[in-house]
């Protein structure tokens, strides 16, 4: 039986002479039944891997206990760790996937243990509640109105109880006037009740007004809190959102459910607590005036109720926090699944995602069930204590009536006041628990507000009026906060001249896109500095730097729901928008080659594009994103694979536009690309290596024509074909002309003439500039210029002898 796979389950020592019987096996299996799911993966291991799992076996091959681990009891954590170590050496993909599942379980178990050990901090909770109340300061007048309504609403129930007792005593005593009418407190009962009816109506009106005012206060408070949290979330840097605790689903849960819990606890439970506090004080005073002895008996149940409320309040607060975390996890899974539904369907992962969702949902249900159980236990405990005191008061009251020490009316009034008192006491404990829930949710929300940014959004100097758009990286050292030991840049240094176009080329993972990220100052550097116009970018306000200086187009541009026009002018301030005309917008869109397809829509620029631009193709979204960047007229334009989804014609038109902007000195362009058609249009090429080291830098033609250059090594033969495929007819003619010119130069260099030597020195200049330079030489060179012009005007194959 041991060889059938039972040994992994027998992890508890059995010490009857080391022998194994059927009863012992049954006992061992029963003890380990809760581990079967974990050890099922063991059966999928190879025999060799079974042997590597020996530490969890307590029997050797002969069936006796393993002496090395005798009398050792394994915890669940130890068994999981040993299983992880065993599975890690397996070549099976399934085994490694099970490692991921086990590690997730370990993380959840650690979080549960941490929550379990997280004791309540009364002072911190009170500070949080006080801070929440400060948010309601603009509505302080409404809050006092609500307190006034609560006071009037409390007076009627407490007065009516006294009236009932007085009426019973008057009836029993036969207090009647000459007309035979019952007299209560010296007045006819008809007079008393004629006063009580309008009093009741006023109390009902106050009750209605209290509910309405508190509802309005709650909505205003939750709106103010959500706005404050969203304001700070939008100011947080990228490092904040890289944290697993700050994923979109978690933050959405904080803004929705947690904010509602805070609002409910403050605007509903806190006023209810004040109401019940008034009920408690008034009822206590009235019970004491009726009979101090009965009041003392009633007070005996107060300490157990108070201590029980504190104990259960802490437990329920902890479970409530766990429930909020579980709900946030469920929201995160939902958000991730719905955002990736096309990918899920393409890879038929519906069942996987449904299983993941159901697992998270089960976690929510389990925590909610435990919270409901704790609340039920608390309720039944309070109920038992309350009715014990209530029955004791009735029994003692009857005894006092029999002995003539109390009247029937007083006993009835006392029991009714005791019911009000106990109800108020129970409600106060419930209010305390709800306040603790609200405090726990408020702590989480204020953590988002109080988070210190590494990159402050509004600190720094104003931008100078005319900032030079040159860029320099000086000994930059950088690693992402989530991977502090993995250096992306380690001493990265390069310079990008002003009003030039520079393309960054590198193998994947060498930091091309990180250049754009750091220019936007999404993260702080570990060391070194980045200069724009000779000024450190840390000196500038981040928001102004991004708004006035830098424009960016990403490979997968994000468009927001709305119209095309709204997306194009998204990066402009209201003042900038007021100065624009539709002609300006159309001109920019023509430069981005998106005007034609926009006007082809029935609504033109007012076309609704749906969430994240769902109604547009990838190329259309990229062109609109380019227009969105160009309309800002930034000093520095970053193109991160910005034309990857465009056809060659559209790409060529956009490249011509960008070339004009750089030639006019209006813009510095940084391209991050893999496509040769994009790289070849840049004036300068910077090739990055490991840790962002600049491997080589120069003009594209020089690097590309050198077979030993790093650029040539990165670009294979297919890149040459791609380069030719993306060339227009005019570019092909120009390239042929340049090739023929190079051949003629080489031919004349062999003859050794002085003119040819000069031409070889200025060979990398554009053709028209070369003609102008040569024209400035002596009369002797004029004849040579005419010869060059006539020869280079011929296409290859058209030469004459």
Q: What is the pLDDT, as a whole number, of residue 741?
A: 56
> Residue 640 above 50 pLDDT?
yes
Most confident of 267-271, 346-350, 610-614: 346-350
Mean pLDDT to the nearest integer, 477-504: 87
Three-class secondary structure of residue 747 per DSSP: helix
Residue with tokens 């099922």: 40
Tell which wins on pLDDT, 576 or 247: 576
Distance CA 474, CA 460 (A): 21
> Residue 326 above 50 pLDDT?
yes
> Residue 404 above 50 pLDDT?
yes
Q: What is the tens place of the pLDDT at every residue in 498-544?
A: 888 889 988 877 888 888 889 888 888 889 999 988 888 888 888 88
Q: What is the pLDDT, as a whole number, of residue 490?
A: 87
CB 189 within 8 A of CB 242: no
> Residue 570 above 80 pLDDT?
yes
Mean pLDDT to the nearest integer, 783-788: 52
212-214-219 Cα angle (round to 5): 100
Give residues with Cβ within 8 angstroms of 395, minimum separation 6.
none
103 pLDDT tier (thresholds 50, 70, 90): low
Residue with tokens 């004080």: 281
Token pair of 528 as six digits? 């070194």
Token pair of 575 as six digits? 């003042």
Give residues with Cβ within 8 angstroms of 661, minimum separation 6.
637, 667, 669
Q: What is the tens place of the pLDDT at every residue in 704-749?
A: 888 788 888 777 644 544 444 545 455 545 555 555 555 555 555 4
- % of the chain surpassing 90 pLDDT: 1
Distance CA 32, CA 24 (A): 12
Q: What is the tens place of the pLDDT at every residue in 295-311?
A: 888 778 777 777 777 77
Distance CA 146, CA 140 (A): 10
> Residue 22 above 70 pLDDT?
no
Q: What is the pLDDT, as a whole number, of residue 700?
A: 84
> What radius of gyration do the chain's Cα atoms show?
40
> Residue 469 above 80 pLDDT?
yes
> Residue 792 above 80 pLDDT?
no
Token pair of 601 as six digits? 């829509």
The candidate with the shortest Cα–Cα distance to 85, out of 67, 65, 102, 104, is 102
> Residue 330 above 80 pLDDT?
yes
Place domain 122-450 in its CATH homologous superfamily: ABC transporter type 1, transmembrane domain (1.20.1560.10)
Token pair of 587 as six digits? 């001109």
Mean pLDDT to the nearest integer, 660-681: 81
55-61-62 Cα angle (round to 5): 130
Q: What is the pLDDT, as a whole number, of residue 147?
A: 80
β 550-553/636-640 pair status:
parallel
CA atoms within 13 A on the CB side of 680: 20
Report phi then psi at 797, rounded to 5: 95, -5
Q: What is the pLDDT, as a whole number, of residue 26?
A: 43
Give residues with Cβ within 8 angstroms of 168, minimum separation 6.
407, 408, 409, 412
pTM of the entire predicted model: 0.61
Residues facing 503 on adjacent strands: 671, 685
> Residue 778 above 50 pLDDT?
no
β 501-505/550-553 pair status:
unpaired
Burial of residue 647 (CB within 10 Å: 0-12, 13-18, 19+) is exposed
DSSP string, 28-42: HHHHTGGGHHHHGGG
Three-class secondary structure of residue 184 per DSSP: strand
Instruction: Tell me what the pLDDT averaged over the chain comes to.
Output: 73
Tell me the CA distances in angstroms from 78 to 11, 34, 74, 203, 229, one per residue in order.
11, 15, 6, 64, 41
The most distant pair of C-alpha atoms in the chain lies apart, rounded to whole Å, by: 149
Look up residue 452 and give its DSSP letter. Answer: P
Mean pLDDT to the nearest integer, 41-68: 39
Run of H or E residues at 492: strand 489-496
Three-class secondary structure of residue 474 per DSSP: strand
Residues in the chain: 801
Mean pLDDT to the nearest integer, 596-624: 85
Mean pLDDT to the nearest integer, 181-210: 76
Q: What is the tens place of the pLDDT at every residue in 416-451?
A: 888 788 778 777 777 777 777 777 788 888 888 887
468 pLDDT tier (thresholds 50, 70, 90): confident
CB 410 within 8 A of CB 394: no
CA 8 to chain centre: 42
Weakest-pLDDT range from 77-86, 142-151, 254-263, 617-626: 77-86
CATH architecture entry for 471-725: 3-Layer(aba) Sandwich (3.40)
Run of H or E residues at 493: strand 489-496
> Residue 2 above 50 pLDDT?
no
Q: What is the pLDDT, as a whole number, of residue 16?
A: 35
Tell me the CA distances in angstroms from 690 to 124, 507, 656, 735, one per residue in order.
48, 9, 33, 34
Q: What is the pLDDT, as a whole number, of residue 219?
A: 82
112 pLDDT tier (thresholds 50, 70, 90): low
The residue ranges of every structural domain in the chain are 2-117, 122-450, 471-725, 729-792
> Residue 313 above 80 pLDDT?
no
Q: What is the pLDDT, as a whole number, of residue 447?
A: 82
Mean pLDDT to the nearest integer, 357-362: 85
For the CA atoms of 3, 6, 8, 12, the dihedral, rounded to the nearest 10 degrees, stands at: -130
Tell which wins on pLDDT, 585 or 128: 585
CB 43 within 8 A of CB 91: no
Distance CA 801, CA 799 (A): 7
> Residue 673 above 50 pLDDT?
yes
């Amino acid at each position: 039986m041991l060889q059938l796979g039972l040994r992994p389950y027998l992890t508890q020592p059995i010490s009857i002479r080391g022998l194994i019987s059927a009863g012992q096996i049954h006992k061992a299996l029963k003890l380990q039944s809760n581990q079967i799911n974990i050890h099922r993966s063991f059966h999928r291991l190879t025999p060799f891997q079974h042997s590597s799992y020996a530490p969890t076996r307590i029997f050797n091959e002969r069936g006796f206990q393993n002496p090395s681990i005798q009398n050792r009891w394994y915890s669940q954590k130890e068994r999981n760790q040993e299983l992880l170590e065993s599975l890690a050496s397996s070549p099976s993909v399934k085994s490694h996937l099970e490692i991921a599942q086990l590690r997730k379980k370990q993380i959840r178990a650690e979080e549960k243990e941490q929550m379990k050990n997280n004791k309540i901090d009364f002072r911190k909770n009170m500070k949080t509640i006080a801070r929440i109340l400060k948010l309601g300061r603009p509505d302080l007048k409404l809050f006092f109105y609500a307190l006034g309504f609560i006071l009037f609403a409390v007076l009627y129930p407490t007065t009516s109880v006294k009236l009932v007792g007085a009426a019973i005593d008057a009836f029993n005593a036969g207090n009647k006037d000459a007309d035979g009418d019952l007299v209560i407190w010296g007045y006819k009962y008809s007079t008393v009740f004629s006063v009580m009816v309008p009093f009741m109506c006023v109390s009902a009106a106050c009750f209605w007004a209290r509910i309405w005012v508190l509802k309005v206060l709650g909505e205003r408070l939750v709106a103010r809190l959500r706005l404050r949290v969203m304001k700070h979330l939008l100011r947080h840097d990228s490092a904040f959102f890289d944290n697993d605790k700050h994923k979109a689903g978690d933050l959405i849960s904080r803004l929705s459910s947690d904010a509602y819990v805070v609002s409910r606890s403050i605007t509903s439970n806190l006023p209810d607590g004040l109401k019940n506090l008034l009920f408690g004080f008034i009822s206590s005073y009235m019970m004491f005036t009726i009979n101090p002895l009965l009041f003392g008996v009633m007070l005996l149940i107060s300490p157990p109720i108070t201590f029980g409320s504190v104990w259960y309040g802490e437990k329920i607060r902890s479970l409530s926090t766990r429930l909020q975390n579980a709900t946030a996890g469920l929201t995160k899974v939902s958000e991730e699944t719905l955002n990736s539904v096309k990918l899920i369907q393409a890879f038929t992962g519906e069942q996987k995602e449904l299983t993941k969702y159901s697992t998270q949902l089960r976690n929510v249900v389990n925590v909610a069930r435990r919270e409901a159980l704790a609340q039920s236990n608390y309720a039944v405990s309070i109920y038992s204590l309350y009715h014990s005191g209530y029955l004791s008061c009735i029994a003692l009251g009857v005894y006092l009536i029999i002995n003539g020490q109390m009247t029937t009316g007083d006993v009835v009034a006392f029991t009714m006041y005791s019911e009000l008192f106990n109800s108020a006491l129970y409600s106060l404990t419930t209010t305390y628990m709800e306040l603790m829930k609200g405090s726990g949710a408020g702590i989480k929300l204020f953590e988002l507000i109080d988070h210190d940014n590494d990159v402050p959004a509004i600190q720094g100097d104003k931008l100078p009026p005319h900032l030079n758009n040159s860029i320099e990286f000086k000994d930059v050292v950088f690693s992402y906060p989530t991977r502090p030991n993995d250096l992306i840049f380690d001493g990265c240094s390069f310079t990008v001249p002003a009003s030039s176009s520079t393309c960054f080329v590198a193998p994947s993972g060498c930091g091309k896109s990180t250049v754009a990220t750091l220019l936007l100052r999404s993260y702080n550097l570990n060391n070194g500095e980045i200069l724009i116009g000779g000024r450190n970018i840390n000196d500038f306000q981040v928001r102004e730097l991004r708004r006035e200086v830098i424009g960016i187009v990403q490979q997968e541009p994000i468009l927001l729901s709305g119209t095309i026009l709204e997306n194009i002018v998204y990066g402009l301030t209201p003042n900038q928008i007021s100065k624009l005309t539709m002609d300006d917008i159309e001109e920019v869109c023509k430069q981005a080659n998106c005007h034609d397809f926009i006007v082809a829509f029935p609504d033109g620029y007012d076309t609704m594009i749906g969430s994240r631009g769902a109604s547009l193709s990838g190329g259309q979204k990229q062109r609109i994103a380019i227009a969105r960047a160009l309309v800002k007229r930034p000093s520095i334009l970053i193109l991160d694979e910005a034309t990857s989804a465009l056809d060659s014609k559209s790409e060529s038109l956009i490249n011509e536009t960008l070339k004009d902007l750089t030639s006019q000195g209006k813009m510095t362009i940084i391209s991050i690309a893999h496509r040769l058609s994009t790289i070849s249009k840049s004036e300068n090429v910077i090739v990055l290596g490991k840790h962002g080291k600049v491997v080589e830098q120069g003009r594209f033609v020089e690097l590309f024509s050198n077979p030993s250059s790093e650029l040539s090594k990165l670009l294979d033969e297919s890149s040459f074909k791609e380069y030719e495929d993306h060339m227009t007819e005019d570019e092909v003619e120009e390239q042929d002309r340049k090739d023929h010119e190079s051949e003629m130069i080489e031919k004349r260099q062999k003859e050794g003439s002085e003119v040819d030597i000069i031409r070889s020195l200025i060979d990398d200049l554009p053709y028209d500039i070369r003609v102008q330079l040569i024209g400035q030489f002596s009369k002797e060179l004029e004849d040579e210029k005419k010869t060059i012009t006539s020869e280079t005007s011929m296409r290859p194959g058209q030469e004459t002898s």
